[in-house]
Amino acid sequence: MQNCNQCGKCCTKYGAADLATNQQEIELWALFNPDIFQYVKNDALWFDPKTGEQLTQCPFLVLSSKKNSQEKNKYTCSIYHDRPQDCRHYPSLISEMINDDCEMLEPIDVQNTFKAQQTLNILMIDSRT
């Protein structure tokens, strides 16, 4: 298992209508992060604050600048420390990572998913609390 290389596949796949949050998180955004809260509508994520339409991509996903044209796309999250619960918990299952083609996976992880899951659980321990 290698570190996240910020390929952005997970954010691109789940970053719009498929993201879940919780009431406490929404209340905290409403109080302290109006820039995030403006994209919440009826406790769901993410909606255009002007039109009220559901967005097709997370508004906080940022493509990093490249040093050269050969470099792979690399993404950051502009609300990393205040990101939704779903984002903090990803990745949680090896099966999900395989399905999403997550680039943290190495061939040995796919060969031994039980061991890979144990490694992942240790890696993610801080994010899941």
Residues that bind ligand SF4 (CB under 6 A): 4-11, 15, 58, 60-61, 77, 79, 83-84, 87, 91, 100, 102-104
The residue among 18 and 53 lying less far from ligand SF4, judged by its C-beta, is: 18
Query: Considering the complex, what minimum distance in angstroms separates the CB of residue 100 from ligand SF4?
Result: 6
The residue among 9 and 41 lying less far from ligand SF4, judged by its C-beta, is: 9
The residue among 64 and 112 lying less far from ligand SF4, judged by its C-beta, is: 64
Query: Considering the complex, what minimum distance in angstroms separates the CB of residue 113 from ligand SF4?
Result: 16
Query: Considering the complex, what minimum distance in angstroms separates the CB of residue 73 from ligand SF4?
Result: 10
The full DSSP string for the chain is --------HHHHHHSSTT----HHHHHHHHHH-HHHHTT-BTTBS-B-TTT-PBPSS-TTEEEPPPSSTTSPP-EEETTGGG--HHHHH-S--HHHHHHHT-TT--HHHHH-HHHHHHHHHHHTTTTT-
